[in-house]
Every structure is written in C-alpha cells, then in structure tokens.
Amino acid sequence: MAKSYHVYGIGAALVDTEINVTDDDLNTISIDFQTAGVDYHINKCQDEGITGTCLVVITPDAERTLCTFLGINAIQSHDDIISEVIAASNYVYFEAYMIMSLPTFIAAKHLCEIIYRDRLCEILEKPIDLLFCNRNEAFSWSQTDQIDSAIEKLKLIAHTFVITLGAEGSLVYNGRKLYNITPHKVHAGDSSTAGDMFAGAFLFGITHGQDYFTAGNFASVAAATVVSNNGSRLSAEKQKQLL
C-alpha cells in the first residue's frame, strides 16, 4: 500500500500550505494553487492587512536582490495554525523570517509544540530534523568562512541538513554520511527561486521513498531547471518532465 505523505509549508508553498492573504488577492492565489495541485488552507478569521509582496531584481549574472514586504504574514500568529493538518504531516517546513516578529515567532514555536506534542521545542535549542541553508547562511550561523567548520557546527543544531553551493552543487548530510551533489550545468537566467525549488524537490524526494543522495540529485536537477526558466514557476509540462 502506498504511504501518503504531507509536507506542511509555512512561508513557502510546497505540497500542503497555509496562506495568509487579503481578500483582494485570495481568488488569484487560490487559482494558482489549484492549477499547481497544491492543497491549501485559508484562515478566514484573520486580521485586516495587506498581502505581502516581493520585488526581485535580476542582474545579468543571474544574481538577485530581493525587496520584500511581508505584509499580513508578519502578523501570522498562533491562531493561524491548523493543528489537525500539522499533526497529519510528516514534515513541517517554515522559514527563518518567522522569528523576526513576536507573533510569527510564537506561531513557529507552536508548530514545534504540535509536532513534539508533550514538550516545548525552543527553535534551534534542540536539534531540528532537517535544515536547509545556502553557503553564506551556513557561514553566518557558524561564524566561520570554512565549510568544514560550518558543517560540524550545523551538526549541533540539525540531525540532517542540506547546504546549497550555487553553481558548485550542494552538500547533503543524512545524519551519518555527507554527500557532495554534482551541479547540473545550465545557462542561469533567474536564480530567485532556486533555493525554494531545491528544498521543495528534496522534500518531495524523501517523502516518496528516495534516500538523501537520490533526493539531492533530483533537487539539483529541479533547481537547475527553474534557474534556466523564464520566470520563477515551471509549466505543468516541465513539472511532468522532471517527475
């Protein structure tokens, strides 16, 4: 019997996500999710606010600068979390921006309470199951510019992790062994969603029976595909080709 997996996304749409938008944008975003086959949950009792926006500036070398307004997501709170969906999920994915405001930090902590049920998991005080970061983020957290030192320090806060290295590929640690994932060379035009695509594809892989090495290679192909794509989303046809 095939096992059903859930990935509940806070901050990024993966397989199953909760969204905080205002009424004026709800219909458009709902249609996008339905088209992409993403199950979603809407908080119908949320406070008034403005839907978040991100302006992305891409330079000819495919590097991007993000100008982000979180909007109503900055006040996402404990009340926005749907406990039943969290409890039925195999992985909960939330982004670092959630610690920037008190309401979203409390919401992130509440996610951990639901996951571990009988104990409060202070974020990063106890090792998390799976961490995604890029090289600069790993260096910043570890206060080092040496990848080997960063890896050892990440092992203290995460049971498993992925460090993306841009055009150099990625490093995937499964709790026992570190894998070097070879990059897929493409002409990069827009790298703004490379990290999100890598994380989403990797989670898809490990929740569909792939080991970390296989999932890392699949995620590398997916990320390479989206950076060579015109725009941040893949067409339904390209998604089918990946799968």
Please give the structure tokens belonging to residue 30.
């709902």
Most confident among 45-49, 54-58, 73-77, 156-160 (mean pLDDT): 156-160
Residues 33 and 76 in one domain: yes
Q: Left (φ > 0), alpha (ψ -120 to 50) or beta: where does 50 sit?
A: beta
Q: What sign does the CA torsion over 21, 24, 30, 35 have? A: negative
Higher pLDDT, 48 or 14: 48
Q: Are residues 112 and 232 in the same domain?
A: no
| pLDDT tens string 114-169 | 655 444 345 556 778 899 999 988 998 788 999 999 999 999 889 999 999 988 99
Q: Describe the crossing of helices 194-206 and 212-227 by its angle, rounded to 10 degrees.
A: 150
Whether residue 41 is found in the same domain as residue 143: no
Q: Is 193 exposed, middle or buried, given 0-12, 13-18 or 19+ CB atoms closer than 10 A?
A: buried
The encoded tokens of residue 108 equal: 């992130």
**Residues 151-160: pLDDT tens digits?**
999 998 899 9
Q: 154 with 180, same domain?
A: yes
CA 237: distance to chain centroid?
Answer: 23
Domain count, the chain: 2
Which among 72, 104, 125 is the end of a domain? 125
235 and 116 in one domain? no
Instruction: For residue 201, give the nearest of 6, 15, 9 by alpha carbon.
Output: 15
Determine the Cα–Cα distance for residues 43 and 215; give it in Å rounded to an integer.
32
For 30, how many CA atoms within 13 A lie in the half-sphere containing its CB?
Answer: 10
Whether residues 210 and 131 share a domain: the answer is: yes
Q: What pLDDT score does 69 carry?
A: 81
Same domain flag for 88 and 155: no
Of the ranges 70-79, 192-201, 226-235, which one carries the lowest mean pLDDT score? 70-79
Q: Which residue, of 125, 158, 193, is where some domain finishes?
A: 125
Indicate if 110 and 147 belong to the same structural domain: no
C-alpha dist (Å) from residue 113 to 121, 180, 197, 215: 6, 34, 27, 28
How much is the mean pLDDT over the chain? 75
Residue at which a domain ends, from 101, 125, 149: 125
Same domain (yes/no): 146, 231? yes
Q: Which uninterrupted H or E stretch holds 196?
A: helix 194-206
Closest listed residue to residue 143, CA positions, set 133, 132, 154 = 154
Please tell me the distance from the alpha carbon of residue 228 to that of residue 243, in angstroms, as a whole number: 17
Please indicate, yes or no, whether residues 105 and 172 belong to a single structural domain of this protein.
no
Do 8 and 109 share a domain, yes or no?
yes
Residue 73's domain is classified under what CATH number? 3.40.1190.20
> How far apart are alpha carbons 163 and 173 in whole angstroms?
9
Confidence label for 210 from pLDDT (cuts 50, 70 and 90): very high
Domain around 37? 1-125
Please state, in angstroms and rounded to a whole number, the distance separating the CA atoms of residues 32 and 22.
15
102/140 same-domain check: no
